[in-house]
A and B are shown apart, each in its own frame.
Chain A
Amino acid sequence: MNLHEHDKKIINQLQGGFPICENPWKELEKTLEIPADEIISRIKKMKSEGVISRFGPMYHAEKMGGGLTLAAMKVDKERYDEVTEIVNSFSEVAHNYEREHELSMWFVIATELPQQVQQVIDKIEQKTGINVYNMPKLQEFFLGLKFEI
C-alpha cells in the first residue's frame, strides 16, 4: 500500500495520542503542519480503506469492571471449521486467530463482568468437548505504541 507522506505523518503522530480539548485539530495543525480539514479527510479515507482500524479512545476493560482473557485450544484439522463456528458464535469472543501450533486456536474473551469469563469458557468446553487454556494477563508491560511507518 502506497501512503502519501502526510498519511504517514498523521499515523505516526496520532498513534501517540489525540488531544482531549475543544480544538484538538488546531494543536495537530501546528505539530503536523497540515491543515485540519486535510487531516480529517485523510483519516476518513484511511479508515474507509481499512488502513486505520480505529480512531478515538481505547478503554481498559478490566478497569471498567469488565472481564478479559486470552484463551487457547488444541483443535484438530478435521474439526477446525466446526469448532471455529462454535467459538465465534459467542458474542464475548472478540478476536480469534488460527496459529501454527498444537494450540491452534487463540481467542480473546471480553465480558461485562469478570466472573462471566469462566462461564463463557465452561460453555465453550461443553459445546466442543475441548479443554480451554485460560491465559489472563498477570502483568502488562507498558507499550509506547509506535510503528513508525
Chain B
Amino acid sequence: MNILATQQNSENYILDESDRKIISVTQTGLPLTLHPYNDVAEQTGLDVNEVISRMKNMTDQGIIRRSGVVPNHYKLGFKSNGMSVWHVQEEKITQSGEKVGALDFVSHCYQRPQFLPEWPYNLFAMVHGKTHDEVHEKVKKIADLLAGDNLAHQVLFSTRILKKTGLRI
C-alpha cells in the first residue's frame, strides 16, 4: 500500500461501537495488572484477541498516537517549561518543523496560524529544562539550527499551571 492511500484511510477511519467501548475504558489509562488487555476485554465484553487487534489497528490508523508511560517533566526535575515560538519563512515551515521536532529536548512541535502584525510566530516548539538557563541554551540550539530561515523568535515561560485535567488525548 502506498503512503497516500494509508493517509487517506486514516482520515476516513470510522470508529464503530466496539472501538468506542475500548476507547471509553482505556482513555484514562490501562489497568496495571499482569494481563491488562484481558481486563479491558472483560470490561468491554469483547474477546481479548479482538481488543488487541482493534488497538493495533487504531495504532496503525493513528487514532492511538502511542501507548506507554507519560512522565511528569516537572517531577523529574525539568522545572522550566518554555514555549518557544518562531517566525519561519512560509516556504521553509515544513522543513524547519521536521528539523526542530527531531530534537530530543523538544516535546511538541506544531505549525500554528499567525496573527499579523502582532503575532508573526508560526512554529511552536515546547522545550523542557532543569532551569530557565538550560531552556535558553536549548532555544539557542534551535536558533542555530534554523539560522536564516528564522526571522524572529521568543520564549514564553510558564509561571503557573492554572488547570490540568487527567485526561490526555
> What is the interface of chain A, defined by CB distance below 8 A to chain B?
1, 3, 10-11, 14-18, 20-25, 36-37, 40, 43-44, 46-47, 49-61, 63-66, 68, 70, 84, 87-88, 93-101, 103, 105-107, 110, 133-149
Alpha-carbon distance A6/B159, docked complex (angstroms): 32
**How distant is the Cα of A119 from the Cα of B63 in the complex, in angstroms?**
25
Given A97-B162, A149-B71, 16 more contacts at CB 8 Å?
A17-B66, A18-B69, A22-B38, A37-B34, A43-B69, A51-B76, A52-B69, A52-B72, A57-B66, A58-B67, A87-B162, A100-B157, A110-B167, A133-B119, A143-B109, A147-B73
Residues of B within 8 A of A43 (CB): 32, 69
The secondary-structure label for the interface of chain B is mixed
Task: Say whether A139 contacts B94, CB under 8 Å.
Answer: yes
Question: How far, in whole Å, are A70 and B100 apart by their CA atoms in the complex?
Answer: 19
Q: In the complex the two chains form, is A58's CB within 8 Å of B104's CB?
A: no
B88-144 at interface with A (beta carbon < 8 Å): 93-94, 97-98, 100-102, 104, 106-113, 115, 119, 124, 128
Q: Are B107 and A145 in contact (CB under 8 A)?
A: yes
Residue of B whose beta carbon sits closest to that of A52:
B69
* CB atoms of A11 and B63 under 8 A apart: no
Q: Across the interface, do A99 and B107 meet the contact criterion of CB distance under 8 Å? A: no
B55 an interface residue at 8 Å Cβ cutoff? yes
A56 touches B98 (CB 8 A): no
Q: Say whether, besides A64-B15, A96-B163, A101 and B71 are in contact (CB < 8 Å).
A: no
B93 contacts which chain A residues (CB < 8 A)?
A: 139
CB atoms of A97 and B67 under 8 A apart: no
Instruction: Name the residue on B nearest A26 (C-beta).
Output: B34
B99 to chain A: closest CB distance in Å? 9
Q: How many residues on B have C-beta within 8 angstroms of the other chain's C-beta atoms?
A: 76
Closest chain-B Cβ to A69's Cβ sits at a distance in Å of: 9
Given contacts A99-B156, A106-B83, A148-B104, whether A1 and B68 have CB atoms under 8 Å apart is no
Provide the bound-state CA to CA distance between A10 and B70, in Å.
11
CA distance A25 to B72 in the complex (A): 22
A residues near B128, Cβ cutoff 8 Å = 147
Q: Are B69 and A20 in contact, with the CB atoms below 8 A?
A: no
Residues of B within 8 A of A64 (CB): 15, 23, 63, 169
Residues of A within 8 A of B160 (CB): 97-98
Which residues on the A side are within 8 Å of B71 (C-beta)?
11, 15, 51-53, 147, 149
CB distance from A124 to the nearest CB of B (A): 13
Known: A64-B63, A101-B154, A138-B113. A16 touches B169 (CB 8 A): no
Shortest beta-carbon contacts, A-B, top 3: A141-B101, A56-B30, A56-B29
How far, in Å, is A40 (CB) from chain B's closest CB? Answer: 5
- CB-CB < 8 A to A17: which residues of B? 66-68
Cross-interface CB contact of B63 among A37, A60, A148, cutoff 8 Å: A60
